[in-house]
Structure 1
Amino acid sequence: MKSVNFEVNRNDLRQSRVETVPIDAAAAVASGKAVLALDHFALTANNITYAAFGDQMSYWDFFPAAEGFGRIPVWGFADVVASGVEGLAVGERIYGYFPMSSHLVVEPGRLTPRRFIDVSEHRKALPAVYNSYERVAADPAYSRTGESVQMILKPLVVTSFLIADFLDDNGFFGARQVLVSSASSKTSLGLAFCLKRLAAAGVTVIGLTSPANRAFVETVGYFDRVVTYDAIDGLDPAVPSVYVDMAGSAAVLTKVHQHFGERLTYSCRVGGTHWEGLAKRMDLPGARPKFFFAPEQIAKRHGDWGPGGLEQRFAGVWDELTGSVEDWLAIEDHHGPAAIKAAYHDMLEGRVSPATGLIMSLKS
């Protein structure tokens, strides 16, 4: 058995390669592990964020590669093709966090009818939310036809939901408006949707985007208002504001902070869609930028709401959102290493329409 791996240079994301490596399935089974064959996965701007913050946020550590290279994490569906784990059968369908590869060897532990945890030694210190794999046969909401939308949007909308909940939980830090950069990204669109739904009454949600993407963001209709980056200085600087930074752009971050100054009550760093001009530690007016770490909010809400509380609340948002995405989301399927390489570089260079959802498979 062999795995086909798509890898990128950790110091130069424009350099990529495809490597084929052997997998000793018999040894994996004998040691109580399982081999998963990745059927397909989604590629979004969020995966570029994983790469841009690979060292800073330990994303490279989940799926180690040769020195200097990394395997970008993605969300997708796989089938168990070899198993040395009692209760985990060959042929089971699995959803979760994978590398851009055709296969993954996992060490399943803490099996329940709904999920298992990859307890591989190198993953034990990493956030548990990324190590959990869903066994779809026990998921009443699962449908084979819904896999594409789930892969493209669900991981992003979970983050959107948690950011919206975090802001609401903190009274929006006294702000009357929320500014969201990279407004055409699917995480930003999800955030706008969640903020409208989650007790954000009286708080205006403004999407910041490029002139090229303005019409698309306005057409989707989730934001209260859409403003291009070159028009930020036209916003009222006296309005107490929160900035949610999906772009990661040093230039946009600086512009927002300098424009609002002390009226910027919270600055939340999330993404890196503008990966070439990423902001470093800077001395800026207003609230000091802080990274949003989703697992912390998950842990807090598990404590606040008890078992199943977070999942139940998210399910309501997810059901509503998926009812509206067919109006703006067009899904494209790409197969084989060459197609994936081309699609990755298109995503990296910003050549993919925000209305497009890319589904990838390393199977030719």
Structure 2
Amino acid sequence: MASTAVLDFLVDRDDLSRSELREQQLDAEALAPGQALLRIDHFAFTANNITYAVMGEAMHYWQFFPAPAGKGLIPVWGFAEVQASRCEGVEPGVRFYGCYPMSTHLVVEPVQVKESGFVDGREHRRPLPILYNQYLRCSRDPLYRAGSEALQMLLRPLFTTSFLLDDFFADNHFFNAERLVLTSASSKTAIGMAYLLHRDRGQREQRYEIVGLTSPANRAFVEGLGCYDRVLGYDQVTELDAGVPTATVDFAGNGELLGRLHAHFAAQLRHSCLVGASHWHQRGGLPKNLPGAAPQLFFAPAQAEKRLLEWGGAGFHQRLAERWSAFTTFTGQWLSVEHGLGPDAVKRVYREVLAGHASPQTGHILSLFSSRGGSI
């Protein structure tokens, strides 16, 4: 393996508005026995990745890909090919889907190598959830379609969270709530959950109304999706009947809004689920002494591990694949994909999404390579 130029997109962990590029060289001797070098072709970037950064300390997202002190490499989901390998069973040219840094390359130490893929066994990743450490061989992945890589990068990790959220609420009989209120209703994870709640409602014993809260700019788009029963602005919370048993699913991370929801529903708030932080700049910590159910952070890997034990790997992926197929057909009606090549495009989209200015109808696919041929 000749010397390879590696480019990283680093952010300041204390001030996410600050970013920088780091270029370094990796030579042929850098790979130890059992390691492989993956070339990251492209990756998706959404508000979900901002959540990873905001929750980097609390949820250990900064631990996946070590960076210089005070800096961070935000995890993203994408596709990579093996450029060089000293690991049996992981051969050059093989393509993998998984969680990568915002970089051009990643060195992995494959363990549990199977036809379906491998787990990165590098020491710093071992304590972290396997959901983020596994790399799926595209030729053996039941969800993979060569012509729909963009949708897989954009929606698969988000939809997996949507799938697990929907399953978590069904598993808990919706906490006996007759209404579910989803904030940041235009976010792709919220849309995925609302789609599943709407799709499978007729097969469930518990009856519930699905309400989306969103900004005025996104209201028409969210209403047009058809998976919310009602769509309201953030200033219209009091229009909801406070006497109806309600559960909230907070994708926004807006502490002031969360406080208003708790105050309005009070004792009728049966469950308060915290998922994302798409409005990260408004989080400001959780309000104190909230009435109603205490807010609970939803950790998708915990629900995934529960179901993997109960359903087995094949059963889990079969359920996910069936819903995924239907959801991608649904998204084809409203989602457009934009591609960006090179560091300037990555920086522009990063700032746009960080500022909350990205359109919910647009999905960004990025690469730190300046051309499809792979040059930096």
**Number of corresponding residues:** 363
Q: What does residue 20 of structure 2 align with? A: 17
Which one of 7, 11, 27 corresponds to residue 8 of structure 1?
A: 11
Which one of 230, 233, 240 corresponds to residue 228 of structure 1?
A: 233
Residue 60 (structure 1) shift: 0.5
Residue 36 (structure 1) shift: 0.4
Residue 274, structure 1, aligned to residue 279, structure 2: yes
Q: Which amino acid aligns with 2:315?
A: G
Q: Which amino acid aligns with 2:34?
A: G
Residue 77 (structure 1) shift: 0.3
Q: Which moved more, 1:335-344 or 1:200-209?
A: 200-209
Residue 288 (structure 1) shift: 0.5
Q: What does residue 106 of structure 1 align with? A: 108
SS of corresponding position for 1:111: strand
Which one of 354, 363, 366 corresponds to residue 357 of structure 1?
A: 363
Residue 198 (structure 1) shift: 3.4
Runs (5+) with no aligned partner, structure 1: none
Q: Could you tell me how far apart the structure 1 residues matched to 2:61 and 2:252 are?
A: 18
Residue 81, structure 1, aligned to residue 83, structure 2: yes
Q: Which amino acid aligns with 2:67?
A: A
The correspondence of residues 128-167 of structure 1 with structure 2, limited to 5 A, is 128-167=130-169
Q: What does residue 212 of structure 1 align with? A: 217
SS of corresponding position for 1:306: helix
Cα shift readout 1:111-163 (whole Å, capped 9, x = no counterpart): 11011000000000111110000010112442221100000001000000100
SS of corresponding position for 2:326: helix
SS of corresponding position for 2:8: strand
Q: Which amino acid aligns with 2:279?
A: H
SS of corresponding position for 2:113: coil
Q: Could you tell me how far apart the structure 1 residues matched to 2:24 and 2:225 are?
A: 43
Residue 301 (structure 1) shift: 1.1
Residue 308 (structure 1) shift: 1.4
Q: Could you tell me how far apart the structure 2 residues matched to 1:305 and 1:114 are?
A: 18
Q: What does residue 373 of structure 2 align with? A: none
SS of corresponding position for 1:78: strand
Q: What does residue 197 of structure 2 align with? A: 195
Q: Could you tell me how far apart the structure 2 residues matched to 1:222 and 1:349 are?
A: 27
Q: Could you tell me how far apart the structure 2 residues matched to 1:140 and 1:161 are?
A: 17
Q: Contact 1:270–1:292 (CA<8 Å) still a contact in 2?
A: yes
Q: Could you tell me how far apart the structure 2 residues matched to 1:213 and 1:293 are?
A: 27
Which one of 322, 325, 343 corresponds to residue 319 of structure 1?
A: 325
Q: What does residue 249 of structure 2 align with? A: 244
Q: What does residue 263 of structure 2 align with? A: 258
Residue 21 (structure 1) shift: 1.9
Q: Contact 1:165–1:198 (CA<8 Å) still a contact in 2?
A: no
Q: Which amino acid aligns with 2:147?
A: T
**C-alpha RMSD of the superposition:** 1.1
Q: What does residue 342 of structure 2 align with? A: 336
Change (3 A) 1:285 1:336: same
Q: Could you tell me how far apart the structure 1 residues matched to 2:158 and 2:104 are?
A: 22
Q: Contact 1:61–1:123 (CA<8 Å) still a contact in 2?
A: yes
Query: Identity over the aligned pairs, expressed in percent?
Result: 48
Residue 303 (structure 1) shift: 2.3
Q: Contact 1:60–1:72 (CA<8 Å) still a contact in 2?
A: yes
Q: Could you tell me how far apart the structure 1 residues matched to 2:96 and 2:29 are?
A: 20
Q: Contact 2:142–2:321 (CA<8 Å) still a contact in 1?
A: no
Change (3 A) 1:143 1:26: farther
Q: Contact 1:168–1:198 (CA<8 Å) still a contact in 2?
A: no
Q: Which moved more, 1:183-192 or 1:276-285?
A: 276-285
Residue 279 (structure 1) shift: 4.8
Q: What does residue 67 of structure 1 align with? A: 69
Cα shift readout 1:206-239 (whole Å, capped 9, x = no counterpart): 1111111101111122211111100011110001
The two structures have a TM-score, normalised by structure 1, of 0.98
Q: What does residue 188 of structure 2 align with? A: 186
Q: Could you tell me how far apart the structure 2 residues matched to 1:25 and 1:212 are?
A: 52
Q: Which amino acid aligns with 2:136?
A: E
The two structures have a TM-score, normalised by structure 2, of 0.94
SS of corresponding position for 1:188: helix
Q: Contact 1:25–1:35 (CA<8 Å) still a contact in 2?
A: no
Change (3 A) 1:25 1:50: farther
Q: Which amino acid aligns with 2:153?
A: M
Q: Which amino acid aligns with 1:170?
A: N
SS of corresponding position for 2:106: strand
Change (3 A) 1:152 1:307: closer
Q: Which amino acid aligns with 2:160?
A: V
